[in-house]
């Protein structure tokens, strides 16, 4: 009888250990697109997340918020073909396992609402990030601009403007 209790206790401890490992591997990432000027807020920014140069296919734990909403109520949960879509004033929060990732932002011509005329897809450079256990990662995305205004590109940074 004593041996059975010991085996059950060991099995229970092993189960609890692995449950803890699985949940601790997931960490928080916030991708923030602050409010832009005027109509630019309505231009979608498609966020592509890659690991080992392969687009992640299982992005299903994403919550998208309006960052100016009281109590961060969920504003919209828009994922299109494994791509997160943010508008001006939105924040995406998601959990990913530790590892190295690349992020790219794009807006196809069809979604640009003729904002700058047909200039091709608006895209960012590839942004590499190493996600480590226990770290909170905050990434900001901004529409690129120059002295004339928005220029049809995206910028990804860890720095808030």
Confidence class for position 159, pLDDT limits 50, 70, 90: confident
Confidence class for position 3, pLDDT limits 50, 70, 90: low
pLDDT at 20 over 50: no
To the nearest whole number, what is the mean pLDDT of the chain?
76
> Alpha-carbon torsion 30, 36, 40, 42, what sign?
positive
Q: pLDDT tens across 59-93, in order?
A: 666 777 666 554 444 445 466 667 888 888 888 88
Q: pLDDT tens across 92-122, in order?
A: 888 888 889 999 999 888 777 767 766 788 8
What's the length of the chain? 161
Confidence class for position 2, pLDDT limits 50, 70, 90: low
- Across residues 8-30, what is the average pLDDT? 52
Whose tokens are 């231009």? That residue is 43
pLDDT at 23 over 50: no
The pTM for the full model equals 0.74
pLDDT, residue 126, reads: 95
3-state secondary structure of 28: strand
Paired sense of beta strands 45-51 and 99-107, if any: antiparallel
Residues 6+ positions from 12 with CB-CB distance below 8 Å: none
Asked whether the beta carbons of 157 and 146 are under 8 A apart, the reply is no
Residues 6+ positions from 85 with CB-CB distance below 8 Å: 44, 45, 46, 47, 78, 79
> Alpha-carbon torsion 83, 85, 86, 90, what sign?
negative
- CA distances to 25, 84, 157 from 63, in Å: 18, 10, 20
Asked whether the beta carbons of 159 and 137 are under 8 A apart, the reply is no
Distance CA 119, CA 111 (A): 12
Asked whether the beta carbons of 121 and 143 are under 8 A apart, the reply is no
């Amino acid at each position: 009888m004593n041996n059975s209790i010991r085996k059950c206790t060991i099995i229970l401890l092993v189960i609890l250990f692995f449950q803890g490992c699985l949940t601790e591997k997931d960490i928080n990432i916030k991708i923030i697109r602050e409010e832009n000027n005027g109509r630019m807020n309505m231009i979608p920014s498609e966020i592509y997340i890659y690991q080992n140069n392969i687009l992640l296919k299982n992005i299903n734990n994403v919550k998208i918020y309006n960052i100016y909403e009281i109590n961060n109520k969920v504003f919209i949960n828009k994922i299109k073909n494994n791509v997160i879509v943010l508008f001006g004033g939105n924040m995406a929060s998601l959990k990913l396992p530790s590892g190295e990732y690349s992020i790219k932002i794009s807006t196809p011509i069809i979604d640009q609402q003729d904002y700058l005329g047909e200039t091709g897809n608006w895209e960012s450079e590839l942004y590499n990030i190493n996600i480590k256990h226990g770290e909170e990662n905050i990434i900001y995305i901004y529409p690129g601009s120059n002295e004339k205004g928005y220029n049809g590109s995206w910028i990804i940074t860890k720095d808030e403007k």
